[in-house]
Amino acid sequence: MENNLPKGVSGKIPFWRDIRVLRVLFQVIFLLGVILLLVILYTNMLKGLRGLGLTLNLDFLQDEAGFDISEGIPYEPSDVYLKAFWVGILNTLKVSIIGIVCATLLGLLFGIARLSSNWLIRTIATAYVECFRNVPLLLQILFWYTAVVGQLPRVRESIALFGGVFINNRGIYLPSPEPTSGLRIWLGFLAAGLLLAVVLYVVRWRKLQQLDRPGFRAKWALPAFLIVALCGWFLTPSRPFTLDLPVLQGFNFRGGMRFSPEFSALLIALSVYTGAFIAEIVRSGIQSVVKGQREAAKAIGLKESQTLRLIVLPQSIPIIVPPLTSQYLNLTKNSSLAVAIGFPDLVSVGNTMMTQTGQSIPVFAMIMVSYLVMSLTTSAAMNWYNRWITRVGF
């Protein structure tokens, strides 16, 4: 091929003008700048800590905490800071997990109710959603704590439900299941029932695929598991569990399990607030299904409940799950507002640790890592479920 370039001019582009080289060069310079900035900040932080007589380490976690925590796993003020921090993590997990379950049920219920043909049901659901999702969560927590839970009757005037549940201004007292020697035998029955249920689930799934028709895949598996579990309950020499009922002794109830006023108010506020957002997610997910799908289901004689379970929900769940995951993450992080009413969650315990030790940076880092692990775990679980439900079906 003839070269038309003037003599003495090379066809090779100089490296300082090569866009590929410049692209890599600018990225390296930017990365070095970020590293330099982090080094400067870290050096200044260490200098400031030395000025305060502090060192950046986690040795303080093995020191005696010296403060009490009102609820959670067994804990004494003589325990170390690490255990106190662990109590805060477990309290946050407890209110988050229970709150996610309650908010999901509320959201599913009111999301479907928003599409009801009944004017009263639809209006009540709309009022719930519009009221609770437009009021700041902190105000709702304070409202439930002071205006509702705080106004419950005194201990001796407790509201009694079902003979074993007592509600008063000191909390909610519930029967507590206590394991017995028959628990191991019953767990064996449960394992056998679960194995049988899995087999029946797979068999029915394949049968429905062969028939090319919709159906409830757990139609055989669920009853089989319940039957085996009930048989195991009655065939064990002793009951797997006994109920430890709360009993009024003196000025308070003894026995059973107790949900403190702080926990109860926080749980109600988180569930109601997040449930309002989940209701809108459910409503929009259901409405995203083409109207012709419902009309076709009605044409072949399916009832409204069958249409919802077999046609609408399987198509709407993959749409609902991604924004639903965000609400689960928000609920977990919003639980940090518990510090406003004195519930000993992760942030509350961490604040006490920072006040007593002065190690604000390590404690803040521990709190951030804890929330990060919770969020990433929740996201991973929901992403797996979304992939599974998309591949396998509802």
Residue carrying the six token digits 């970020």: 34
Burial zone of 93 (CB within 10 Å; 0-12 exposed, 13-18 middle, 19+ buried): middle
Q: Which of 229, 112, 251 is nearest to 169 (CA)?
A: 251
Q: Report residue 305 as tokens.
A: 């409940």
User: Average pLDDT in the 47-73 region?
Assistant: 82
Do the beta carbons of residue 112 and residue 126 sit within 8 Å? no
Q: Which segment of 34-48, 201-215, 244-258, 332-346 scores lowest on mean pLDDT? A: 201-215
Conformation bin of residue 6: beta by default, left when phi > 0, alpha when psi is -120 to 50: beta
Average pLDDT estimate for 134-154: 92
> 58 pLDDT band (50/70/90 cuts)?
confident
Q: Check pLDDT > 70 for residue 6.
A: no
C-alpha 99 chain-centroid distance: 7
**What does pTM read for this prediction?**
0.82
Percent of the chain at pLDDT exceeding 70 = 94
Please report how the helices 360-392 and 313-334 are oriented relative to each other, as an axis angle in degrees rounded to 10: 170
Residue 330 has pLDDT above 90, yes or no: yes
Instruction: Identify whether the C-beta of residue 330 lies closer than 8 Å to the C-beta of residue 274.
Output: yes
Residue 243, H or E segment:
strand 241-244
Measured N-to-C along each axis, helices 360-392 and 81-113 cross at an angle, to the nearest 10 degrees, of: 40
* H-type alpha helices, the chain: 19-51, 81-113, 119-132, 137-143, 183-211, 221-235, 261-287, 291-299, 304-306, 313-334, 346-357, 360-392
Beta bridge partners of residue 252, listed in sequence order: 249
Percent of the chain clearing pLDDT 90 (strictly above): 38
Task: State yes or no: pLDDT of 7 exceeds 70.
Answer: no
Average pLDDT over residues 144-149: 92
Residue 253 vs residue 371, higher pLDDT: 371
pLDDT digits (tens, 9 = 90+) for 88-121: 999 999 999 999 999 999 999 999 899 888 899 9
Q: Which fold has domain 81-175+245-392?
A: MetI-like fold (1.10.3720)
Rounded CA gap, 158 and 173, in Å?
10
Both tokens assigned to 347: 């942030």
pLDDT of residue 393: 55
